[in-house]
Amino acid sequence: MENHRPFALSLAGFDPSAGAGILSDIKTFEAHDVQGLGVCTALTYQTADDFIGMNWMSADVVTAQLLPLIEKYPLNALKIGIVENFHLMSNWIGLVKGFFPTCKVVLDPVFRASAGYDFHNETSIKWLDKVLQSVDIITPNYKEMEVLANGGDPLKKAKEISHSTHVLLKGGHNPSEKGNDILIYKGKETLIEGKEIDIFEKHGSGCVLSSSIASNLAHGHSIEKSCRLSKAYIEDFLMSDESKLGQHTFIKNHD
């Protein structure tokens, strides 16, 4: 039987707990009726509670994984998690876009693990401006935007970045808009309100949200609708149980 599902690729790290990274993304793609592909950028040693360490895959190894996939499968969306530096990320986005110019690109900018491990240095972050020109949406939380603001106002920085790409400023750590996300483009804010619900902290919730957005974009939805659909999905995920590893629910209707 021919596969008529859209294709999405996760360019991210391997988390053995499957709460974050490629395994989490693939589960999310599958739940959204999207055919998921994965390229490993790093091997991590972690559980849902503790980040112990990691090894980066070399640029050649990442490219060797990526090339056969984009030569064979028509990508509708690319979701990017941890990558060693933004220079390499820019090269890989360019490679994908060379094959599929209309492929939607979602960047989940992970700068630090919850245990305090830094994924990027200042030199790497300087390449971010070039990356922003080639992605469709970036999904930082408030703390990640504080890193990019370098001591300045996170919302002001998000508005500045929004002149290059859409910014979904997640509200989980926002002291004034907790639980509400703000979608910003060209300086214009659109509030995506969260439900007043009891949620349970989940390992990898940022990965799930960004891969849900990529899935909805792969199905042809607009960026705003994709963010709204994904907000509902992540809230269900956060309520799914009391553990750090949430449960995914299959989405049958993509209208």
Structure tokens at 249: 């629910």
Helices 59-72 and 86-99, packing angle to 10 deg: 20
Q: For residue 69, what is the domain's CATH number?
A: 3.40.1190.20
DSSP assignment, residue 201? Answer: -
Rounded to whole angstroms, how far apart are CA atoms 183 and 227?
8
- pLDDT tier for residue 47 given thresholds of 50, 70 and 90: very high
Determine the Cα angle at 217 with ends 158 and 173, to 5°. Answer: 35
Q: Hey, is 107 helix, strand or coil?
A: strand
- Amino acid 114: pLDDT: 47
Residue 250: inside a domain, yes or no? no
Q: Tokens for 31, please give them.
A: 């739940």
Q: pLDDT for 117-145, tens place per residue?
A: 455 445 456 678 889 999 999 999 888 88
Q: Higher confidence at residue 38 or residue 204?
A: 38
Q: Which of 11, 20, 127 is nearest to 70 (CA)?
A: 11
Whether residue 221 lies inside any domain: the answer is yes
pLDDT at 200: 78
Read off the tokens for 132.
């922003």
Across-strand partners of 79? 10, 106
Does residue 99 sit within a domain? yes
On whether residue 124 sits in a domain, the answer given is yes
In a domain, 244, yes or no: no
CA of 81: how far to CAs of 24, 32, 65, 115, in Å?
11, 19, 16, 17
Whole-number pLDDT of residue 240: 86
What are 36's two structure tokens?
């998921």
Domain carrying residue 22: 7-238
Interhelix angle 205-218/223-238, nearest 10 degrees: 140
In a domain, 251, yes or no: no
In a domain, 245, yes or no: no
d(CA 146, CA 137): 18
The tally of domains found in the chain comes to: 1
Round to whole Å and give the CA distance between 24 and 48.
12
pTM check: above 0.85: yes
Q: Give the model's pLDDT for residue 174.
A: 58
**Residue 54: partners with Cβ closer than 8 Å, 6 or more residues away:** 13, 42, 43, 44, 45, 117
Least confident of 152-161, 172-181, 201-210: 172-181
